[in-house]
Structure 1
Amino acid sequence: MSNPHAGISGPGFLYSVEDGWGHLQLDRPDAGNRVGLEMLVAMTELLRTEPQHAGVLLISAAGKDFCLGRERAEQTTPVTPFDAFRPVAAFYRALSEFPGLTIAAVQGRATGFGVGMALRTDLCLAADDASFTLDEIPHGIPPMFVLSELVDHLHPKHLMEMILTGRTVAAPEALAMGLVSRTAPAAELLPTARDTAAGLAGPKAPLVASCKQYIRQIRAVPHASRLDAALSAQTLYAVGN
């Protein structure tokens, strides 16, 4: 498979493609894998171009923590709030709109932006020692980006409590709440995630992408009309394949 992005090193991350699935690894372990602006922009561009090469994308991180949020201290030139937040929105949009399956492998701490990144993947595998913290409210910042996705994951009372208190949620509770897909022993997390990515790539990738697209579409269909929508979608898939 020819891929110009196989085995590249970007600002703060590594990327490779293997047998039809891509692996994006955050690589700033000494900084808690915090995401700076240059790193954010480069990863956004990667997400926009890689669907032609990778049907499944795994996001993991080097070191003991997944991601402690954004690098807030790097801004040296004053910009408007809109311009400051626009790269974040662009990254989240590119991740959410990635047509293939996206998988997060979360170890250690995920905070703020790290939680938002994990939320926007289709599958989230967490180490049994992982934790999730939304600390924006305690710092006086409303977490609008995370809330835009979190409302689809949590019961309203879990949502409000986690957002407003900023308390840390450990992996077992995160699993029970619906923040993660499943947990694994820390030593087995990355091998499990890699096996999952490999098992859903290759010949299965188009089927996986069709299921992902259909799940998004069917949510918007009234319940009484869902069987008709399912009949149409099933027929179109059969004809196209």
Structure 2
Amino acid sequence: MTYETLEIERKGAVATIWMNRPDVFNAFNERLIADLGAACRALDADATARIVVLAGRGRHFSAGADLNWMQRASGYGEAENLADARSFAGMLQALSGMSKPTIARVQGAALGGGTGLAAACDMVVASDDAQFSTSEVRFGIIPAVISPYVLRAIGPRHALRYFQTGEKFRADQARAIGLVSEVVSRDELDAGVAALVEPLLAGGPLAQQAAKQLIAAVCGRPIDAAVAEETATRIARQRATGEAKEGIAAFLQKRPPAWQG
């Protein structure tokens, strides 16, 4: 598929979604939101794509909402605003809900919704000059649609600060509070992503999908008999898969598993 605002780059089992609006720092509007949602759904259905990287062309990852889009939205009625917000929420859900590992490659600004995009990915590799913010309050609005993903990453205590101050925070601060996985220099961004890709390709794709589902099923629940039964059921089901049998056989036979071939 081709997209008006994106480029899809394939290198073996790794698919990179490049946001391609560098003239506006990859700020998103209705078209970019629709393209990103469609690309996530297409790549999720593509068994040849093992890992998805989200990146931005130019100096910045994403400056958040396009000002022209925001201006149009300010004139919307409640019904139009709800439809617009649902489109954005659906795109983030498609990104976060992908059945395969996702990595955000972040340089420069990742502001507002740009922080939301990074948080919706499983992992974030950021350049040491990257800056993040949930700046919506400075425009008289709130980071509502991105909040589930940012909260999952940084927790409510840090969210209470940054959702209310709207202040920018650096990559090293973002790593300290859980939003960023690795911080590298800008010229080492691709190497930093590759360093995560290598161990990800060593894992079984179905096991990785099951691991993501496991986290969603268990996170936040009390450790009680119901959770114990849930986890026992999940590992029993996983052990019975062909992928698990192949992985254990490969280990015992001291050879790479089939998915690494």
TM-score by length of 1: 0.89
User: Structure 1 residue 237: deviation in Å?
Assistant: 0.6
Among 55, 74, 78, the alignment partner of 2:50 is 55
User: Structure 1 residue 185: deviation in Å?
Assistant: 1.5
Alignment of 1:80-91 (within 5 A): 80-91=80-91
What residue number does 2:251 align with?
none
- The alignment yields a C-alpha RMSD, in angstroms, of 2.0
Residues 20, 202 of structure 1: 8 Å contact kept: no
User: Structure 1 residue 176: deviation in Å?
Assistant: 0.6
- Asked whether 1:46 is paired with 2:47, we answer no
Considering Cα pairs closer than 8 Å and 6+ residues apart, tell me whether 1 or 2 has the greater RCO: 1
3-state DSSP class of the match of 1:206?
A: helix
Which range moves more in the overlay, 74-83 or 135-144? 74-83
Alignment of 1:1-241 (within 5 A): 5=1, 8=2, 10-53=3-46, 54-74=49-69, 75=72, 78=76, 80-197=80-197, 199-201=199-201, 204-219=204-219, 221-225=221-225, 226-241=227-242
Q: Distance in 2 between matches of 1:39 and 1:202?
A: 32
Larger Rg, first or second structure (1 or 2): 2
TM-score by length of 2: 0.82
Residues 182, 192 of structure 2: 8 Å contact kept: no
Mark the CA change 1:220 to 1:177 in structure 2 (over 3 Å): closer, same or farther.
Answer: closer
What amino acid maps onto 1:119 in structure 2? A
Residues 107, 186 of structure 1: 8 Å contact kept: yes
3-state DSSP class of the match of 1:196?
A: helix
What residue number does 2:246 align with?
none
Residues 207, 238 of structure 2: 8 Å contact kept: no
Q: Distance in 2 between matches of 1:158 and 1:203?
A: 32
User: Structure 1 residue 101: deviation in Å?
Assistant: 0.9
Q: Distance in 2 between matches of 1:105 and 1:26?
A: 11
User: Structure 1 residue 190: deviation in Å?
Assistant: 1.9
User: Structure 1 residue 199: deviation in Å?
Assistant: 4.3
Mark the CA change 1:220 to 1:78 in structure 2 (over 3 Å): closer, same or farther.
Answer: closer
Equivalenced residue count is: 234
Residues 133, 166 of structure 2: 8 Å contact kept: yes
Which range moves more in the overlay, 117-126 or 157-166? 157-166
Q: Which runs of 5+ in 2 are unaligned?
A: 243-261
User: Structure 1 residue 132: deviation in Å?
Assistant: 0.2
Q: Distance in 2 between matches of 1:203 and 1:150?
A: 26
3-state DSSP class of the match of 1:129?
A: coil
Residues 55, 202 of structure 1: 8 Å contact kept: no
Runs of 4+ in structure 1 displaced over 6 angstroms? none
3-state DSSP class of the match of 1:151?
A: helix
Residues 25, 62 of structure 1: 8 Å contact kept: yes
Residues 56, 205 of structure 1: 8 Å contact kept: no
Q: Distance in 1 between matches of 2:220 and 2:158?
A: 24
Q: Deviation per CA, 1:8-27: give whole Å up to 9, x if none.
A: 5x222110233222110111
What residue number does 2:248 align with?
none
